[in-house]
Amino acid sequence: VMPALGTMFGTEYGGITQRYIDFLVERARGGVGLIITGNCCVDWPRGKVGGNPFRLDEEKFISGFNELAESVKFHGATIAVQLQFSGRLTSLSATEGLHPVAPSETPPSPGGERPHTLSPEEIHEIIRKFAKAALLAKHAGIDAVELHGAHGYLIGQFLSPFTNKRTDAYGGSREARARFGVELVMAVRAAVGSGYPIIYRMSADERIEGGLELNESQWFASRLEEAGVDAFHVTSGIYESRRWMFPGVGMEHGCNVSLAGGIKEAVSVPVIAVGKINDPLMAEEILQQGQADMVAMGRALIADPELPNKAKEGRMDEIRPCIFCNECIGRLYENWRVRCSVNPYVSEEGKPKAPPPEKKKRVLIIGGGPAGLMAANVAASRGHEVVLCEKNPDLGGRLHPASQPAFKTDIKPFINYLVRLTVKTGVTVEAKTCVTDEWLKGRRFDAIIVATGALAASPKFVNNSGRELFSPEEVLMDQLAMGERVAVIGAGRVGCEVAEFLAEQGKKVTIAEMLGEVAPDLHILGRERIIQRFEELGVRVWTGFKVSKFTPQGLLLEDKTSKEHLIEVDSVVFAGGYIPDAKSVRMVQGIAPEVYAVGDCKEPRKILDAVAEGSYIGSML
C-alpha cells in the first residue's frame, strides 16, 4: 500500500496535475497494489490545509480524478482517494479568511487560529459534504475512499478527549465522541452503496497526555466497523506529537505495528500497518505474525518506486533505501514540492530521459562520496568508461561519519546501495588514490567530475589552551578519548549531531552558536527533534555567543555586549562549517574538454543536493 503523501503537486485551486499523475503512475508501474491519493478536501476552502491539497467538493473536479484513476489502474494498481477536513489544523491563509471550525474551542495548533465551535447543524452539513465527495470519487472511477480520521484532523478531533470538550450529544462520553465518526461513515455508506470499500485512517495512540490511547481506539474501531468501515489504516500521533506522524531519525522501524495489531484484535476487517517500514522482509514478517493484513510504505516508495517489483523478483539488493531524513516532508513545510535525498528523479517522473550519448567517453570522477558515486553510476549506465578515484580505502565520503551515531544508522544501507551500483554498472574504482598533477600525467579523459567534498572551515578564535581542537569526523569515526566535559562550537546540523552523539555517551555537553538558533540548516522536523533531544540529554545550549578564546581555564564565549563567559571544558569539538574545495577544481581545469564540480566541493549542502547534482551531470555526459 502507498499511503497518502503530501507532494505540493496540486494546483492552487485543488486540481489534479500531470506531474501528480506521473508521480503515482511511476509507483503503479513499480508494483504497488493500492495507492491512496494525497489528502482531498471535501469543503473548499473552509476545510483545507496548506500545501496545495486536492479537492473533490464539486462535479467539475471529477474529470481530473478520472484521468488519475484510469492512468493508475492501467498499470495494475487499485486507487483510493483520501477525504479530509482540517478542522483546527489550518490557518486563515489556507481557508482564505474563513474561520477554522472544530468540535470545541480547543487550543489551536502552533501558528493556527482558535477555532469556532461547530453547531449540530454545521456538523450535519460537513457529514453531507463527506458523503457527496465519496460519491463523486466513485463516479470518477476511484476504487475506494479513505476517511482521514488520524493525525488530529476533524474526524479524529471529535473522537479525542484532547480536542473534544463538548458537553452535548457529540462530546463527553466515548459514545458521544464517536457519534460524529459513526454518522459520517453511515452517510458515506448510504451515498456509495454496499460493496464500495471505505477505509478509515486512525491514530490509535495520539502519543500525548490526555489524547486517544489504544484501548479506547479499539472500542471506536469496533463501532466504526459496525457503521460500515471495510478496513482500518493504523498510524499514531497528532501535530502536537508529530514526530510520531513522520517517524524518522532515531525512531524504531515499524513503530506503529503493535498498534495495528491491537486494532486487528478488535475488528474483523483488514488492517493496514504503517510507520517507518522500508524493508520488504520486515513487511512480510508483519503479515506472517498476523499483526496486519496489508503494509503501507510511504517514504520508502518515494525513495524507490520499484520497491514492490524488486522484492517480488528477488532483487532486494537493488532497492534504493529510504534513509528517513524527512527532507521530503520538511520541504512541504517550506511550501516546496516534494523531493528525495536518495532519489533524484522524484517530481520529475514525467520528464523525458536524457538522449543516448553521441559517443562513448572516458570519464574521471575524483571523490567517492554521494555526488561522485551518483555521477559515476549514472555515467557508466549510459555506456561511458568511468574511473572513480577515492583517497580513502572505502567509498561513501562523509556519509560514513554521518552514519556512525546510533540515531543515524539508516544511512548505512544507502552507502552499501551506492557501492553495489558501482559494481553493477562497471565503474573502475581506484581506492586509496589521490589524484595529483603527477597522477594525471599520461592519462587522457574526455570529462572530469570533481566530487572531492568540502573542506573544514578554520576557527577564527585564539587557541592557547595547549589542547587540540577535534573535528566532527574525528569524534564520530575514531571514538576518541574525550574528556567528560565537552564543548561543541557550531550548532548547525553537524555540530548538533556530534553534541547528541557525545551526550548519549554520558558526556556533559555544551554547544555554542553565534546565531540565534540551533540547527538553522535543518528542516522544522529536524530542529524540533534535536531541541527535544538536547532537553532530554541535558545539553547546555548557548545561542547568540561568539567564541573568543580557548584557554587553559576553558572556553571563553562573548555575548552581543562583548561580555565574556567562561565555560570549563576538557575537550572542544570545532564544527564551524565547511568551505568549497576550489583547489581541486582548479587543478584539473584544462586537463579535459569537460570539467564539472558537483556536491559539497562546489557548495557545502545536503545529501539531497549532492545526489541530485551527481545524477544530473552523469546524465548529461
* Catalytic residue set: 153
SS3 162: coil
> Grid coordinates representing 440?
594525471
Answer yes or no: are the C-beta atoms of 534 and 509 closer than 8 Å.
no
SS3 294: strand
d(CA 416, CA 406): 17
> Grid coordinates representing 103?
468540535
Look at residues 376, 274, 279, 372 and name the one whose alpha carbon lies nearest to residue 321. Answer: 279
Residues 6 or more apart in contact with residue 537 via CB below 8 angstroms? 500, 503, 504, 509
Residue by residue, DSSP assigns 568-604 as --SEEEE---EE--HHHHHHHTTTSSEEEE-GGGTS-
CA 619 remoteness from chain centre? 26
d(CA 534, CA 530): 6
Look at residues 244, 221, 232, 203 and name the one whose alpha carbon lies nearest to residue 291. Answer: 232
How many of the other CB atoms lie within 10 Å of CB of 324? Answer: 23
Answer yes or no: are the C-beta atoms of 402 and 501 closer than 8 Å.
no
d(CA 365, CA 368): 8
d(CA 591, CA 34): 52
Answer yes or no: are the C-beta atoms of 46 and 14 closer than 8 Å.
no
Beta bridge partners of 512: 489, 542
SS3 422: helix
CA 529 remoteness from chain centre? 13
d(CA 341, CA 609): 7
Beta bridge partners of 299: none
d(CA 312, CA 420): 20
Buried b or exposed e, range 567-597, using 16+ CB within 10 angstroms? bebebbbbbbebebbeebbebbeeebeebbb
Residue located via cell numbers 547534482:
613
User: Which DSSP helix (H) or strand (E) runs through 511?
Assistant: strand 508-513
User: Which DSSP helix (H) or strand (E) runs through 449?
Assistant: strand 447-450
Conformation bin of residue 172: beta by default, left when phi > 0, alpha when psi is -120 to 50? left
d(CA 611, CA 618): 11
